[in-house]
Amino acid sequence: MKRFVIFCVIQAAVTALLYGLVAVSETAPTVLFGMPVIGSSMEQPSWISVGGEGVIVLGAGVGLVEFGMYGVGILFATGQACAGLIAFGQAAFGLLFFCAQLGLGFTGMGQLAIGVQVIGQGELGPNGQAFLERMNADLGELLRFRSASD
């Protein structure tokens, strides 16, 4: 976990530095690789979109990563009603994993969980507690700052 936290701190510092350089620059880029850097639902797809389509979508829309009330994030999604490979929400479809009040996917947890390996108050599928605990332990080992053998 320490390694993950250090990575997040470094990523935040680099992002803040780049935003600072762009903010003081008189020629801040508005288009990167043929797509607008920031867009809205009225425009074409953009890198960061406020609704609509984009790589990172804030609000209702479709993108690789989606944060909003309703939307689809191909890799990750969070919101009231969302779908993606990994989904966190009120009603979520997470193909690989979900954490939701009502969820559907391969593995996950929720108040009503439907899937192959699930934990929930209402489980429709095999109890996945042992699998999810093992997965959590494996992820914890991968994200630790030092391995147990150090």
- Count the Cβ atoms, other than its own, within 10 Å of residue 33: 6
Query: Block means of pLDDT (10 residues each) for the chain, length 150 residues?
Result: 74 76 65 77 78 86 89 91 92 92 92 89 81 85 68
Confidence (pLDDT) at 42: 65
* Domain positions in the chain: 34-137
User: What is the value of pTM for the model shown?
Assistant: 0.70
Q: Considering only CA atoms, which of 103, 96, 101 is closest in space to residue 132?
A: 96
